[in-house]
Amino acid sequence: MSQSTSLGEGPHSPLREVAEQIRHLWWIPFLTGLVSIGLGLGILATDWTVRALVIITGLVFVIRGIALAFSPAYAGRTSGEQVVAGIAGVIAGVVLIAWPGPSLLVLAFFVGAWLAVSGGFHIVTSLSRRRELPHWGFTFSVGVVELLLGIWAMRRPEATLALLITIIGLWAVVTGVIYCALAFEIRSTAHALARATDVTERDAAQLADRLDRLAQLHAEGMLSPEEYTQLKASLLAARTPGHVGQEPRSAASGGPSARQL
């Protein structure tokens, strides 16, 4: 008789699934952060034409959109909002790259509007799911940076090429650093979840063994049905936080206790 599945343990437990998912995907925000920092520094250090800046900005949008869609920061915790937002980011980047000769004003408004929308998404999602997302502070920080830079870009009709280079470069560098920090936090969480899963699986194995021995004693007639029911309930209750440390007792007859099992 095995109770591991009913208790949420085992190789397919939600805890292990989340641990495995983020353990294999932590590199996505890390690589995204490195690429974003590199592109941001390149943007800040280069004299761009409007067309060249449009292309590199669109490329950053596409990369960030893909990374958001597969972000392990939302692993198993949302209904897929980040996938929709990531796809929207990819579409925005493709539209920007394919735009036939946008003016500086069009570029400023497009970049500002998208950063404001993306920042608003990160802020709202992070705050609304802060009890479910362990790293919501990092995604919230990304949203604040994007929202502020987006508003700054849209509120300056006299936008110059140098100003846009500064806004886009700062956005890429600052949020890239946050993404790298997020990646290491996710990696640490994955290791902690893996260790917790190992402990809970050992506990589940011990509980299953005790329940098997209890059932065997009952089958051999050494325990009455009432004793068997009470001891089994005591063993299962000991798994809950409110019963930790309590000594289960047998029924009236002095039969074996749960600890002796």
| Phi-psi label, residue 46: left if phi above 0, alpha if psi -120 to 50, beta otherwise | beta
| 248 pLDDT more than 90 | no
pLDDT for the residue 21: 57
Residue linked to tokens 């980011």: 89
Range 216-241 average pLDDT: 66
- Rounded to a whole number of angstroms, the CA Rg of the chain reads 27
pLDDT for the residue 240: 52
pTM given for the model = 0.64
- Tens-digit pLDDT profile for residues 81-102: 888 889 999 999 999 888 877 7
- Tens-digit pLDDT profile for residues 184-221: 887 777 666 566 555 455 566 666 777 777 776 667 55
Among 47-51, 124-128, 207-211, 246-250, the least confident range: 246-250
Q: Please give the Cα distance from 178 to 216 (Å, whole number).
A: 56
pLDDT band at 254, cuts 50/70/90? very low
Q: How many residues does the chain have?
A: 261
Look over the chain and give the mean of its residue pLDDT values, rounded to a whole number.
75
End-to-end CA distance of the chain, in Å? 15
Helices (H), the chain: 14-25, 27-45, 50-69, 81-98, 104-128, 136-154, 161-219, 225-237
Domain residue limits, the chain: 14-194, 196-243
Range 145-169 average pLDDT: 84
- Tens-digit pLDDT profile for residues 50-80: 889 999 999 999 999 998 888 777 655 566 7
